[in-house]
Amino acid sequence: MSRVPRSAWAIKQLLREDLRGRTAYGAPQLDVPVALNTNENSYAVPAAVVDEIVAAIATVAPGLNRYPDREFTDLRGDLAAYLSRSGTSVSPEQVWAGNGSNEVLLHLLQAFGGQGRTALGFTPAYSMHPIIAATTGTSWADGLRGVGVHSTSGGGAFDLSVESAVAQAEQLDPHLVFLCSPNNPTGTALTLDVVTAVHDAAPHAVIVVDEAYAEFARPGTPSALTLLEGRPRLVVTRTMSKAFAFAGGRLGYLAADPELVDALRLVRMPYHLSSPAQAIARATLRHADTMLGTVDVIKEQRDRLVAELATLGLDPVPSDANFVLFGGLRDSHVTWQALLDRGVLVRDVGIAHYLRVTAGTPEETTAFLDAMAALPQDHLSPEHLEGQS
């Protein structure tokens, strides 16, 4: 009788070779007075919405002995109606949803990626894109930002030009392309000509525009939803985690051509959205205006962060999201720890000399800015110290 391997060494040998040595995704979950590291909405769900959520769960609870609607028909209708509020008509047949946008992204990679296929993303961008690609055996290509870009909007080092994006897409000829707008962790948004140019330059690829932070965009920032018609390879992903203060509810979704949506049924797990998940998402969507009532306040704090970090001698990147990436630090991890020692948790995103901070409540923003102002000047990079002299 063969023995079951029990040691850590043996398990590593059994692990898929392409996963060995990798590190699991995980933002620190620490009990601190001011948590501004995961781009959550700092505002609690309003009491009236809580009451409706509780009532919705009570309604479905007696039927939990039965499987949920695997087509989540009513929820798809509600999501389509919400997206259509922006002026671009979206039908329920164009909508797909999952337990957070990460599951939706997983479905896309399961359906259109895999062994022998390549996904392209322009880094720095959402760190889960290459991780999810790896779980499906999809090869990942790190495209570059800031190549040949001279931006007048700020954050030029993180912008993506049409010329650069097209050249990289044409050279690689990928099977999927990930575009983030607004981009995480930089907060920068794409112009629609970048999306259409990449779509045309990668004729064998599904083009995924990740719009997780779309509701926080500044006026005039366009959505790729307006480009869906006539482009069956284009996908726009969204989430209720951020603007809807629904991170714990785990509901992500996408809009695409109905035929592409139908293909995702081949890879989803049976009944993947539970009855309670569908019920509470629908209850929340019925209060969309209430849930989105904090968006303008959060945007004000985001813009305050940009303005006040600049006065501290730092380099904040103008943002269309609910967070701000800021540079000018001598050692980003040392500054991260110094802020944590003061009870403020921000995100070290692995970009040298930069940290990312979520726009929270006015009180949280003040606490962060006060902590930054209290840091010794030697936290600034030498170049920025010269600029302060």
Categorize the per-residue pLDDT at 2 as very low, low, confident or very high, splitting at 50, 70 and 90.
low
pLDDT for 256 equals 98
Q: Which of 224, 220, 214 is nearest to 252 (CA)?
A: 214
pLDDT for 82 equals 98
The string of pLDDT tens digits covering residues 271-324 is: 999 999 999 999 999 999 999 999 999 999 999 999 999 999 999 999 999 999
The string of pLDDT tens digits covering residues 169-209 is: 999 999 999 999 999 999 999 999 999 999 999 999 999 99
Residue 385 has pLDDT above 80, yes or no: no
Categorize the per-residue pLDDT at 27 as very low, low, confident or very high, splitting at 50, 70 and 90.
confident
For residue 317, the cross-strand partners are: none
The sign of the dihedral angle between the CA atoms of 308, 310, 315, 320 is: positive
Angle at alpha carbon of residue 44, lines to 42 and 46, rounded to 5°:
140
Domain ranges of the chain: 23-45+293-388, 47-286
Which of the pair, 243 or 386, is modelled with greater confidence?
243
pLDDT for 10 equals 83
Give the pairing of strands 34-35 and 344-345: parallel
How far apart, in whole angstroms, are the C-alpha atoms of residue 246 and residue 262?
Answer: 26
Whole-prediction pTM: 0.92
The sign of the dihedral angle between the CA atoms of 107, 112, 116, 117 is: negative
Q: In the sheet where 234-239 sits, what is the strand order?
A: 95-98, 252-256, 234-239, 206-210, 176-180, 118-123, 139-144
pLDDT for 156 equals 73
How far apart, in whole angstroms, are the C-alpha atoms of residue 105 and residue 184?
Answer: 15
Measured in whole angstroms, the distance separating CA 152 from the mean position of its chain's CA atoms is 25
The string of pLDDT tens digits covering residues 117-161 is: 999 999 999 999 999 999 999 999 999 997 533 333 344 779 999
Range 256-262 average pLDDT? 98
Residue 59 has pLDDT above 90, yes or no: yes
Categorize the per-residue pLDDT at 22 as very low, low, confident or very high, splitting at 50, 70 and 90.
confident
pLDDT for 154 equals 44
CA torsion angle 137 182 248 107 (round to 10): -30
Encoded amino acid at 111, one letter: A
Categorize the per-residue pLDDT at 253 as very low, low, confident or very high, splitting at 50, 70 and 90.
very high
Domain 47-286, classified CATH 3.30.70.2860, yes or no: no
pLDDT for 272 equals 98
CA torsion angle 260 261 263 266 (round to 10): 160
Range 43-64 average pLDDT? 98
H helix count then E strand count, the chain: 14, 12
pLDDT for 354 equals 97
pLDDT for 3 equals 57
Per mean pLDDT, which of 55-64, 141-150, 154-163, 376-385 is the most reliable?
55-64
Residues 6+ apart with CB under 8 A from 220: none
Please report how the helices 47-60 and 275-286 are oriented relative to each other, as an axis angle in degrees rounded to 10: 150
Residue 256 · residue 228 · CB < 8 Å: yes
The string of pLDDT tens digits covering residues 263-278 is: 999 999 999 999 999 9
Question: Residue 158: helix, strand or coil by DSSP?
Answer: helix
Least confident of 18-32, 156-170, 300-314, 375-389: 375-389
Encoded amino acid at 193, one letter: D
**If 0-12 CB within 10 Å is exposed, 13-18 middle and 19+ buried, where does residue 73 land?**
exposed
How far apart, in whole angstroms, are the C-alpha atoms of residue 262 and residue 236?
Answer: 15
Q: So what's the architecture of 23-45+293-388 in CATH?
A: Alpha-Beta Complex (3.90)
pLDDT for 6 equals 60
Mean pLDDT, the chain, whole residue set: 93
pLDDT for 152 equals 35
Q: Where are the alpha helices (DSSP H) in the chain?
A: 8-14, 47-60, 73-84, 101-112, 128-135, 162-172, 192-201, 258-264, 275-286, 288-291, 295-311, 332-341, 362-374, 382-388
pLDDT for 153 equals 39
The most distant pair of C-alpha atoms in the chain lies apart, rounded to whole Å, by 75
